[in-house]
Amino acid sequence: MAAPGALLRQCPLLLPQNRHGTAYEGFLTAQGRDFHIRILLPMDCQLKNARIECSWHLKKILHGYQHIVKQRLHNSPDLVSFLVELKTIMEIALKNTPELHIPRPPEYYSCLVRDIEILGWNKVAYVDSGLSTVKMKAEDSCGRQHLITLKLNAKYPTDPPDCLVDFPVQFAVSWMPQNSLIDIYNQFLAALESLKEFWDAMDEIDGNTWVLEPENPPRSATTRRIAVGSNVSVTVEVDPRHPTMLPECYFLGADHVVNPLRIKLNNNMHLWDPEISLLQNLKDILEIDFPSRAVLEKSDFTKECGICYAYRLDGATPDHVCDEPRCGQPFHQACLAEWLQGLPSSRQSFNVIFGECPYCNK
């Protein structure tokens, strides 16, 4: 699974299509041009077994580079690393490929301009100079701003445009050759309203708690890691189709702190009330008040790793905590694993390493 922040930085137009992190769709940019791509991972997220689907244009550009792409799939440590290398391959391939431009017929331009005028230029946020990319803007009933990016091919309107949206669910356009941009726009508006309750729930969490991860979450993000206390947090994964139901909850912190929270969750989950907000339900079920943004700062919860003395390491935050109540020092998983593997006194059972805390020696 790709780290959301790192993926967003490297490929801002490529978005996850499901909550398991096994499907990604969108565009990769090379030489200032966007190319549609879809990446499907198996459930174990092994890159070597991934399936890559792309437009015929990109397929033709990468012809002769397939062996390099396959090799990088097998050897890259994660999806973000592979995509960085794939973009480099695309850059090289584009420099060595004659321009593959299909001239668009005059009817294409007259049809597109007519469709934009029917839609209304006030709903258009961007049109590129070649009239092949259109971004439309919309506001949902709660005043949230949204964009939809359309990539049109030369056969428009016979063929539908590729659509890219910042949604937590797949957005499939229903299209007939007689349809136009306004039909996509209306389907976009309907989809926005269907996700209203989900975004209401996430906005309430973002506005009233300290969210540790993700930073600046996109509208497609379905998880939030919320600070509960010093070195204690809960990650909630909300189902965008059923946002008022009990979400998946994962606790991070020392056992003596998180075990009582797990017990409360198990004992009180029958009290979950879909008629009240998700955040209020979490407070009632866990019998806690989340730290207030008005009283505390985010820095009160973002304690550095006790080994590397950094908070973020390759996008990861310290999420392993010493169980000694008087210590409670957090560590990055990678730092802690490297530290324990280097200790002569540590022991390993299957995939679990046991050893002394590098901070308090317990």
Q: Which long-range contacts (CB under 8 A, 24 or more apart) does 30-37 make?
A: 30/87, 30/90, 30/91, 30/94, 31/90, 31/91, 31/94, 31/95, 33/94, 34/133, 34/151, 35/61, 35/90, 36/151, 36/162
The edge-to-edge listing of strands for the beta sheet with 23-30 is 14-16, 23-30, 33-40, 51-54
CATH architecture for the domain at 4-100:
Roll (3.10)
Q: What is the pLDDT of residue 2?
A: 54
Q: What is the pLDDT of residue 302?
A: 65
Residue 29: exposure state from Cβ atoms within 10 A (0-12, 13-18, ≥19): middle
Q: What is the pLDDT of residue 127?
A: 93
Closest CA to 168 of 234, 226, 243: 243
Q: What is the pLDDT of residue 232?
A: 85
DSSP, res 146: E
Residues near 79 by beta carbon (within 8 Å), at least 6 away in sequence: 1, 2, 7, 24, 39, 41, 45, 47
User: Where in the sequence of the chain do the CATH 3.30.40.10 domains occur?
Assistant: 303-361
Residue 361: exposure state from Cβ atoms within 10 A (0-12, 13-18, ≥19): exposed
Q: What is the pLDDT of residue 280?
A: 96
Closest CA to 278 of 343, 198, 187, 337: 198
pLDDT in tens, the chain (362 residues): 555 667 778 888 888 888 888 889 999 988 778 889 999 988 888 888 889 998 888 888 888 898 899 898 888 888 889 999 999 999 898 888 765 555 688 899 999 999 999 999 999 999 988 888 999 999 999 999 999 999 998 889 999 999 999 999 999 999 999 999 999 999 999 999 999 999 999 999 999 999 988 888 999 999 999 989 877 889 999 999 999 999 999 998 778 888 999 999 999 999 999 999 999 999 999 999 998 877 666 666 667 787 787 777 776 777 788 877 777 788 888 888 888 888 888 788 777 888 888 878 77
Quick one: tokens of 218? 């996109």
**Do 152 and 134 contact (CB within 8 A), yes or no?**
yes
Domain spanning 209-300: which superfamily? Answer: RWD domain-like (3.10.110.20)
Strands 23-30 and 133-139, sheet pairing: unpaired
Please state, in angstroms and rounded to a whole number, the distance separating the CA atoms of residues 304 and 307.
9
Q: Between helices 181-194 and 106-119, what is the axis angle to 10°?
A: 50
Q: What is the pLDDT of residue 328?
A: 75
Q: What fold, for 106-200?
A: Ubiquitin Conjugating Enzyme (3.10.110)
User: Where in the sequence of the chain do the CATH 3.10.110.10 domains occur?
Assistant: 106-200
Q: What is the pLDDT of residue 98?
A: 62
CATH code: domain 303-361 is 3.30.40.10
The amino acid at 186: N
Residues near 197 by beta carbon (within 8 Å), at least 6 away in sequence: 243, 244
Q: For residue 337, how many other CB atoms are within 10 A of its CB?
A: 13
User: Where in the sequence of the chain do the CATH 3.10.110.20 domains occur?
Assistant: 209-300
Q: For residue 327, how many other CB atoms are within 10 A of its CB?
A: 16
Q: What is the pLDDT of residue 269?
A: 94
Three-class SS state of 261: helix
pTM, to two decimals: 0.65
